Chains A and B, each alone.
Chain A
Amino acid sequence: MITAGIDVGSVNTKLVVFDRVSQQAFCEKVVPTGPRPRETAHHVLSECRSEHKELSGHVRGVVATGYARHAVDYVEGTITEIRAAALGIRYWHPTCRTVIDIGGQDSKVLSLDESGKVHDFVMNDRCAAGTGHFLSVLAKTLSVPLEDFGWLSLESRRPVPVSSLCVVMAESEILSLLAADTPVADVIAGLHEALARRVANMAARLRVEPEVVFTGGVAQNPGMKAALERALGIPVTVARKPLLAAALGAALSVGETKPGS
């Protein structure tokens, strides 16, 4: 059975068209969401249809997830990104019991039971602290490409403590550090440590059990994985396809959701 999941996130929109029988993805796409999530979601689906004409009439359903899931009006249903991430991660990592998902707009920690159902979860508060946005704003402040941010943090020998988690306050804090000739790598490592500490504090409200799988856009950052392992004190596995886990979960949920939204 072929199904599709579309994850309309704050930064990227992700699509997975998946065959549950062969357990293969026919189509995987990641495009910037931009200011019009509905149009973006529509566009990414149309693009997939034109690239894979052989799928015509074979896709059994589409489920949307992500922050703008309700904006997608031609799907059979919606699920939250929390359930979607759990379904997708568990499919790729069957022994996973804890999911750490750090995206552009929010971060969350999910505790899964033995069967893979979400047992409990916590999400960050409203502000950008504890999210990918925190790192991307500060990468700009430091004039370092975001894709290099994690690698640079691993080069640090002596991370400096960054106490502010508010983006605005952290920005002024790191400008002071740079003015004091602190090596950039140490500042970046300090930022990773601060973010990891915040996520670990959030996770402490749940039972953090192995296997811990790290997903969401920030999971592509190797420095963050290392910082999380230090903060949690246990190994962390980076999800097989961190950007696509929720879209896969949505595709896997087709047939289980309530119609419409």
Chain B
Amino acid sequence: MPGWTDPKSARVSFDDWLELFDRVPDELIERYHYYGNNEAWSKYLFPPQMFAVYGMRHLRRLKFDNSLAALRMWGFVQNETERLFRARQTGRRVIATMGDLGAVPVIVNSYPKCVAFYPDCIWWTPFAMESRVLFDAAAELGIGDATCFSRAALGAFAKHSYFPDPDLVIASTGASCDDYSGVEQLAERFAREMLWVEVPMRCGMGPMGPMGLMLVKEYERVVEAMARLTGHELTEDELRAGIRRTNTVRKMVSRLRELAFGDAALAALEMMVIEFGNLHYYSDMDEWTAVLEHLLATAEGRTARGERMLPEDALRVVWVTPPADPLLLTYVEDAGARVVGTEYVINQALEIMDESRPPLEAIAESFMAASLIGTSKARTQSVIHQARKYEAEGVIISGILGGSHCAMEGRLIADYVKAELGLPVLEFDVTSPSREVARQIGTRIDAFLEVLRGRR
């Protein structure tokens, strides 16, 4: 990049980034815009401090990748709320997709001037803001602490300030998360229009058995609803183009996972943000694709130079279920470990779709691989595969206090992993937003890493 050379790869603090940001030339700050225009309002290359001022206080405690690509990524991701409101102002239709984590946006984003986003991802916001405001708002509407943190999405609907009121809400329910189905039901009162999509259980059948075919029918209803909303009849070519663009993103993320898990070219925090970008591209697919290209070039460069974000002797762990508190990833890395595999319940968004198949079938087929709609044992297979591939020394399962899935599934996954691989497994629940990692959880992580070290 003109006027900028990345410093030697390192994880840096919030304050370090402010210092580094002073060195970013104005030309680069002017260079990056969302929604493909050059208007002053669509710039997004800002340091984390900018977003901390607007309430993301937790950023002050995290450690960040010190590359320009990562700075760009953080700016882009943190800017999403503003971007969604701009979408509305600039004549785009804003469609909330909920519950299926990655499939419906492939259809929605194939329509011209339509932006899909996931209110589900608001579940990080209470932790990022170190605030219970959204949980309290959800509780007032009837969904309290004994449910998954995804209830924050309901609070966000009620507040009308985290995203514009969507033109359409497409809510997937059925064999997905029970808690989130409850959130969706309560969110319906805020929707101008709500389309319910039934998500089938995999039931051990092939991806395109009766369950997969049922899903295709559901997706046909999505297409009909989108046609009603936009007045646009989606052609097969447009949908195929959407699949191709999605596959481009998914392939890049797949390569980034290899570079991060295999060569430590990226740290776990950035990698989690990247993986979740596969759900809806942070509401601007073209710019997210460019951000990923930048990250990929950075990671490839590091690997070629033999640079690593984390030491070679770091303990290798696979992480199961995304940590609602991102500080846990920073904590684990500070304590001497690195993440070499993830099972964040979004594997369907990592699957490459078959471009030769009828488009809706290709989307349904990739969704039918979702760990979300299968057994815990099937979910564990992905953990086991990654643990073997990257020679993991342990597995960390971070559950969600109140999450209906987590109460039972964590134990089952732990038992399967122990039986199959004989690896130590640490299982704990993330409790509630706070400024630091809870002392007892910190002790468990420390002791777990001591056990892993002792086994070397």
Residues of B in contact, count (CB < 8 Å): 15
> Are B447 and A80 in contact (CB-based, < 8 A)?
yes
Stretch at the interface among B98-106, B180-188, B315-323, B438-446: B438-446
Complex alpha-carbon distance, A119 and B425, angstroms: 11
Partner of A83, one of B429, B431, B438, B450: B450
Greatest chain A CB density within 10 A among B438, B444, B451 is at: B451
Interface set, chain B 398-456, CB cutoff 8 A to A: 424, 429, 431, 438-440, 443-444, 446-448, 450-451, 454-455
Closest to A117 in B: B454
Complex alpha-carbon distance, A83 and B440, angstroms: 15
Complex alpha-carbon distance, A117 and B450, angstroms: 10
> Are B440 and A82 in contact (CB-based, < 8 A)?
no
Closest to A125 in B: B429
> Are A80 and B443 in contact (CB-based, < 8 A)?
yes
Closest to A69 in B: B443
In the complex, what residues of B have CB within 8 A of residue A106's CB? Answer: 440
A252 to chain B, nearest CB (A): 14
| Other 8 A-B pairs with CB < 8 A, given A81-B443, A120-B424 | A79-B450, A80-B447, A80-B450, A81-B447, A82-B443, A118-B447, A119-B451, A126-B438
A31 to chain B, nearest CB (A): 21
Complex alpha-carbon distance, A246 and B443, angstroms: 14
Interface residues on A, range: 10 to 19
> Are B450 and A82 in contact (CB-based, < 8 A)?
yes
> Are A80 and B446 in contact (CB-based, < 8 A)?
yes
> Are A121 and B447 in contact (CB-based, < 8 A)?
yes
Q: A-side interface residues toward B, CB under 8 Å?
A: 67, 79-83, 106, 117-121, 123, 125-126
Q: B-side interface residues toward A, CB under 8 Å?
A: 424, 429, 431, 438-440, 443-444, 446-448, 450-451, 454-455
Can you pick out 27 interface pairs between chain A and chain B where the beta carbons lie within 8 Å of each other? A67-B440, A79-B450, A80-B446, A80-B447, A80-B450, A81-B443, A81-B447, A82-B443, A82-B450, A106-B440, A117-B451, A117-B454, A117-B455, A118-B447, A118-B451, A119-B424, A119-B451, A120-B424, A121-B447, A121-B448, A121-B451, A123-B440, A123-B443, A123-B444, A126-B429, A126-B431, A126-B438
Complex alpha-carbon distance, A182 and B455, angstroms: 51
> Are B439 and A67 in contact (CB-based, < 8 A)?
yes
> Are A82 and B447 in contact (CB-based, < 8 A)?
yes
In the complex, what residues of A have CB within 8 A of residue B450's CB? Answer: 79-80, 82-83, 118
Complex alpha-carbon distance, A83 and B431, angstroms: 25
Complex alpha-carbon distance, A82 and B452, angstroms: 13
Complex alpha-carbon distance, A67 and B443, angstroms: 8
In the complex, what residues of B have CB within 8 A of residue A117's CB? Answer: 451, 454-455
A2 to chain B, nearest CB (A): 24
In the complex, what residues of A have CB within 8 A of residue B451's CB? Answer: 117-121
Closest to B443 in A: A80
A249 to chain B, nearest CB (A): 12
Greatest chain A CB density within 10 A among B431, B439, B455 is at: B439
Closest to B455 in A: A117
> Are A118 and B440 in contact (CB-based, < 8 A)?
no
A126 to chain B, nearest CB (A): 6
In the complex, what residues of A have CB within 8 A of residue B447's CB? Answer: 80-83, 118, 121
Closest to A118 in B: B451
Complex alpha-carbon distance, A117 and B452, angstroms: 10
